[in-house]
Amino acid sequence: MASESIVVFAQFQSAVDEGFWHRLSSLKLNKLGIDDSPIPITGFYAPCSHPQVSNHLTLLAESLPSESNEQSSTAATSGGNRNRCPVPGILYNTNTIESFHALDKKSLLKAEAKKIWDDIHSGKAVEDSAVLSRFLLISFADLKKWTFHYWFAFPALVLDPPATLVDLKRASQYFSLEEAKSVSVACNEWRNSSLTADVPFFLVCIDPNSLATVKHIKDWETCQSDGNKLLFGFYDPCHLPNNPGWPLRNFLALISVRWNLKSVRFLCYRENRGFADLGLSLVGEALITVPQGRAAKTGNGLGWRDHQCLPNAVGWEQSKGRQVSRCISLAKSMDPTRLAISAADLNLKLMRWRALPSLNLNALSSMKCLLLGAGTLGCQVARMLMAWGVRKITLVDNGRVAMSNPLRQSLYTLDDCLNGGEYKATAAVKSLGRIFPAVDAEGVVMAIPMPGHPVPSQEEDNVLEDCRRLHDLVDSHDAVFLLTDTRESRWLPTLLCANTNKITITAALGFDSFLVMRHGAGPFSSNDERQRLGCYFCSDVVAPIDSTANRTLDQQCTVTRPGLAPIASALAVELLVGILHHPHGIFADGELANSSSSGSSELPLGVLPHQIRGSLSQFSQMTLVGQSSNSCTACSSTVVSEYRERGMEFIIQAINHPTYLEDLTGLTELMKSASSFKLDWDNDDDVDDDDCVEI
């Protein structure tokens, strides 16, 4: 190029790795919430390395700060990577798409340009030249649709009047053979050193003997020797043969302000396969005229050296030749299971933004829940647990799916009823997997041994095996839900939970009424300061017996109003969540609704009741508290001690002999005392009517 022309710079281009958006989503959900404060980020770029493709400024997952670190990721980024020259940037991530479009882009660009201007005048840009390429990113992350709107800006100070280009040619044409060889060697050494590989601006000094050295720009004064050629070099991401890259714009501003040079010889450094390529690199000369801005008009003659004279700035990235934002959707490219997990966790993580900052998602996701019964209640409870983030669910049931089940039992379909019906435990697990692939669900087909259902001697070994298996299941889970449809089927699980001090929750249905309750801690738990809450059997004065014999069809089936089970199931799961977030956990006292003495009413999840009894016929609900009974046939210290001493022998005796538990706990004597108690009425007819009080 022989004639002078205005320098036309090739604008920076951006590229965002998918990992950046995943990290931003996680940061937004787990830490930032609705905080839309600017976030320091780091971009990376390298010299052009292909004759037909420019390099981009790239954002990676590590461009963002980690969730545990308040600082920018810049400090955590390892230096000396020749393919990752770090560039500081700032991210403005808005909470709504409307806020994204309403951002004052002109002011934001000017603010970042002023930072560059300040760094030039303070000398920071000489010490750390990467700040000359400072960038800006605005974004909106739609985490429901996994869509991201964004727009980059690469602030560039506007030369007024523009710099003119005297000459621009390939570096191989500018240097002599000796100079070219020496420059290539010096640049390769600079790029291969861990101390300088990611320093994007530098000086190339060539002495009269054609020996080239590459130095930091802060060493400009030491390079002023007669006969030396001096070039201002920079890593040029652009591949175009007639256009220097965008970083040169602010580099020229720095050179004009710091050293007041009017003519600047520059090297657009480019590579091929990791080595200097002088056939691709460019050498040019630019003329800088003293700006005709405010400083010139005031007559101080300082031009750009006047710190108060902030130049105009440009730099919003174009998309297909237009200045518009970009949008990317990751929904189609993501693994469906990963999408399901993100979507499932979204509502829970959003709770922590405003409504429930103390929500412990780790406690929920690590909870192992055992559901005894996979019927109307079991299906609903399993789905509610998944909605709260519980991922480990085991269902126990020995029944098969009948034609009457799918309408009320939400995990089953008609296909599960065919050919005699699939086992409920197995079908429920398959259904949970279809609903949420990340759930860790297991189905166990087994019957629960029950008092009042005598065991023939030939079946005793099988029943004992079921008892041991149930013991192991209770022992390996954190919370147990008793969701069976008979009273006696809850006895053995209640005993096992009391023995191991497990969180235990019972849900039971009538035709139009329900009971949901949490069992108190076991009798030998370590906390002796509070009186224990009762279990499901503590208010009974008789032992559980066979409740299925001599029943009509409507008594054999669970005949309830259809809306009852979802209500009871939801309350049962909410009880579990309340226990996990209560400071006393399983030892928490039972609290009553609307009670002024309730200490937990100030907790984020409110009161933690012991029992909830509801009636659909009255559309009413009440909370009750019942303390543990020393004569309880399931959780009293007498029964638990007997089980610990005799083990399975005790279980078989309780199953085969209905009155054994009553005799053991003293209920038999209590009933005898009650039946022999006589109340003597005073039949004195001489009582004066005046002694009576009308009520």
Let me know if 557 is a catalytic residue: yes
The helix/strand/coil state of 500 is helix
CA dist 650 and 661 (Å) reads 10
| 392-396 and 440-444 strand pairing | parallel
DSSP output for 343-387? HHHHHHHHHTTTT-TT--HHHHHT-EEEEE--SHHHHHHHHHHHH
Provide the CA 606 distance to its chain's centre, in angstroms: 24
The helix/strand/coil state of 486 is coil
Tokens of 539: 């208010």
Q: Which of 557, 632, 635, 692 is catalytic?
A: 557
Contacts of 525 (CB under 8 A, 6+ apart): 501, 532, 586, 587
CA dist 528 and 303 (Å) reads 82
* H/E segment holding residue 405: none
Whole-number CA gyration radius for the chain:
39
First to last CA, the chain: 116
Cis omega (within 30 of 0) for bond into 456: no
Amino acid letter, 661: L
C-beta separation of 214 from 250 below 8 A = no
Provide the CA 543 distance to its chain's centre, in angstroms: 48
CA atoms within 13 A on the CB side of 60: 12
Provide the CA 231 distance to its chain's centre, in angstroms: 50
Closest by CA position to 270, among listed 315, 240, 296, 294:
240
Tokens of 106: 């002109």
Contacts of 510 (CB under 8 A, 6+ apart): 560
C-beta separation of 37 from 70 below 8 A = no
DSSP output for 546-577? --STT--HHHHS----TTHHHHHHHHHHHHHH
DSSP output for 67-85? TT--S-TTTTSPS--TT-E
Amino acid letter, 441: A
The helix/strand/coil state of 168 is strand
**Helix, strand, coil fractions of the chain, as percent rounded to 5:** 35, 20, 45
C-beta separation of 411 from 423 below 8 A = no
CA dist 126 and 226 (Å) reads 23
CB atoms closer than 10 angstroms to residue 159:
21
Cβ-in-10-Å burial (0-12, 13-18, 19+) of 414 comes to exposed
* H/E segment holding residue 403: none
C-beta separation of 462 from 438 below 8 A = no
Place of tokens 């959780």: 635
CA dist 589 and 670 (Å) reads 28
CA dist 156 and 113 (Å) reads 7
Tokens of 693: 């009080």
- Catalytic sites, residue numbers: 557
